[in-house]
């Protein structure tokens, strides 16, 4: 079973299982400047009691669809094949990978998918579980990146503390071009930055072939032109050239078509 799941990952079955179109530009919300994390999408107001009813009833449906045997493989331990550092954004979830996440994906989340802000959790996934793939997963319309591009001095101390590590990323922005294009490029730059940061942490494991670092962008805005919901690989072990990424050994089980449609760059 584990081998099947690994092959599923390598085959890049990364299409989303739901239509994200209505929320695609929620974080932008019509603004053309940085600062702020983006307002929530306009939608009917849902009360706290209605939310809790959905949570409890939803869990009952989940239980009805999964008998006791479903939980047997992970009663006493976990054995994921993939560690993912991704954003806390509610539009980004592990079902985009196309296989069951339970006991297969070790997920670490914070605003801006930053390794330094969750170093202990990342270490656990890489050194103790250990998974052979560490993926840094950014996403289009990332509110944390947008906030870091502007003045976030009015935010709470806790939010400012989590945004401050993004300053080196924004420093790479030459300020040219339209804001949305700069934003998209900075999302990718952040992914590259987090991969490079991880390379320093896990250099020995990467050198010995025990770990592959993958940078990716979950693109529900179709910024890369491959359709909404596409997973775009932008970096492998610090290599950012799409042509070189396509030739990386970790991509060898893929046919040409999936490779071409899942590898791209806005900044190279």
pLDDT, residue 129, reads: 97
**Per-residue pLDDT for the chain (268 aa), expressed as one digit of tens each?**
444 444 444 444 433 332 333 333 333 434 455 445 555 566 788 899 999 999 999 999 999 999 999 999 999 999 999 999 999 999 999 999 999 999 999 999 999 999 999 999 999 999 999 999 999 999 999 999 999 999 999 999 999 999 999 999 999 999 999 999 999 999 999 999 999 999 999 999 999 999 999 999 999 999 999 999 999 999 999 999 999 999 999 999 999 999 999 999 999 8
pLDDT, residue 91, reads: 97
pLDDT, residue 26, reads: 36
pLDDT, residue 44, reads: 80
Task: Specify the pTM.
Answer: 0.85
How far is the C-alpha of 146 from the C-alpha of 124, rounded, in Å?
29
CATH superfamily, with its number, for domain 2-30+78-262: Carbonic anhydrase (3.40.1050.10)
Q: Where are the domains of the chain?
A: 2-30+78-262
pLDDT, residue 252, reads: 94
pLDDT, residue 37, reads: 55
pLDDT, residue 41, reads: 62
């Amino acid at each position: 079973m584990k081998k099947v799941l690994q092959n599923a990952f390598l085959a890049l079955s990364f299409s989303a299982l739901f239509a994200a179109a209505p929320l695609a530009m929620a974080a932008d919300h019509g603004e053309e400047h940085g600062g702020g994390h983006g307002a929530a999408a306009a939608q009917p107001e849902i009360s706290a009691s209605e939310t809790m009813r959905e949570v409890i009833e939803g869990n009952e449906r989940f239980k009805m669809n999964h008998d006791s045997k479903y939980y047997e493989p992970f009663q006493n331990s976990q054995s994921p094949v993939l560690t993912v550092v991704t954003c806390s954004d509610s539009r980004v979830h592990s079902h985009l990978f196309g296989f069951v996440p339970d006991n297969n994906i070790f997920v670490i989340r914070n605003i801006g998918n930053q390794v330094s802000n969750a170093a202990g959790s990342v270490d656990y996934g890489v050194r103790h579980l250990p998974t052979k793939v560490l993926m840094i997963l950014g996403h289009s319309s990332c509110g944390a990146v947008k906030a870091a591009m502007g003045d976030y001095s009015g935010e709470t101390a806790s939010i400012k503390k989590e945004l401050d590590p993004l300053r080196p990323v924004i420093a790479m922005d030459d300020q040219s071009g339209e804001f949305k294009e700069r934003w998209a490029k900075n999302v990718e730059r952040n992914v590259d930055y987090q991969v490079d940061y991880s390379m320093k942490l896990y250099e020995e494991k990467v050198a010995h072939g025990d770990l592959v670092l993958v940078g990716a962008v979950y693109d529900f805005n179709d910024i890369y032109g491959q359709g909404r919901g596409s997973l775009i690989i932008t970096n492998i072990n610090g290599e950012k050239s799409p042509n070189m990424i396509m030739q990386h050994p970790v991509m060898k089980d893929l046919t040409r078509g999936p490779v071409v449609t899942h590898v791209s760059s806005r900044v190279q």
